[in-house]
Amino acid sequence: MGALGELWEYLTTGDNWTGRGGIIALTWAHVKISVTAVAIAAVVAVPPAIVLGHVRRGGALAVSVVNLGRALPSFGILALALPISIQFGLGLGFWPTLVPLVILAIPPIFANSYTGIRGVDRGVVESARGMGLRPRQVLLQVELPIAVPLVLTGLRLSAVQVVATATLGALVGFQCLGSLVVQGIAQFDDGKTLTGGLLVALLAIFTEVAFSATERALTPWRRRRGARMGLRRSAERTPMDPVVSPGTQLV
């Protein structure tokens, strides 16, 4: 039986879906730690990024410092977090896996949130201030709504990266979809290995699609503006039909 046949056999065996080590339980654990990591990263990254973007000071330095997190290998952070977690009595599994995921998720969220606020047109901000809006009102009613698409983009990028990287948790005893990959390799079970890899890929694709749909739902004005721009371009490219009087022959 080939690898694809073993994959099909593993997916169609009912016992592989149930129990603590079943596909359903592992998928739920994978989703839970991914959501937790992105939520913590958002709480840590979004407020300071918004404030720095609003005051337009110190943001470039902060983004450079935060982006150092992208240079840190997740596997190395996982290896460092494991003994620290054991020393503080947090044990294996969830906590040593959560730390590198949070560090991985912070840079895209921070950079996009800062860029979204910082990139708001200066004229729009000055007009809002000229109408009597206070700095807090300018931030909440003008800058933040304009920056929402970029903030959501940062969350989407972080979520997809976290979902893909959470598989490393299996190396420190966290039961997730990565466990299928690790166990499959150890047991020379191609069906289990391919199942784990396939489910992680599908979950990452689902995360991408879900965040994209949420972004479109929360920013309907972008769709309307895009439709107007498309109609305008179409009108500019389409030549107007000449007006011809009855009996007049075009040359």
pLDDT tens-place string over residues 129-165 = 888 888 788 888 888 888 888 999 999 999 999 999 9
Q: Nearest to residue 82, comparing CAs of 93, 74, 70?
A: 93
d(CA 246, CA 234): 29
Q: Average of pLDDT values for 157-184? A: 94
Contacts of 22 (CB under 8 A, 6+ apart): 15, 16
Place of tokens 């890929």: 201
pLDDT for residue 226 is more than 80: no
The type of residue at 181 is: V
| Burial group, residue 242, by CB count within 10 angstroms (0-12, 13-18, 19+) | exposed
Question: Going from the N-terminus, what domains does the chain have, and what CATH number goes with each?
Answer: 3-218 (1.10.3720.10)
Contacts of 134 (CB under 8 A, 6+ apart): none
Of 19-23, 177-181, 214-218, 239-243, which range is least confident? 239-243
d(CA 119, CA 150): 10
Confidence of residue 250 (pLDDT cuts 50, 70, 90): very low
The pTM for the full model equals 0.83
Confidence of residue 64 (pLDDT cuts 50, 70, 90): confident
Supply the pLDDT for residue 251: 44
Q: Nearest to residue 98, comparing CAs of 45, 173, 27?
A: 173
Residue 239 CB: number of other CB atoms within 10 A?
Answer: 6
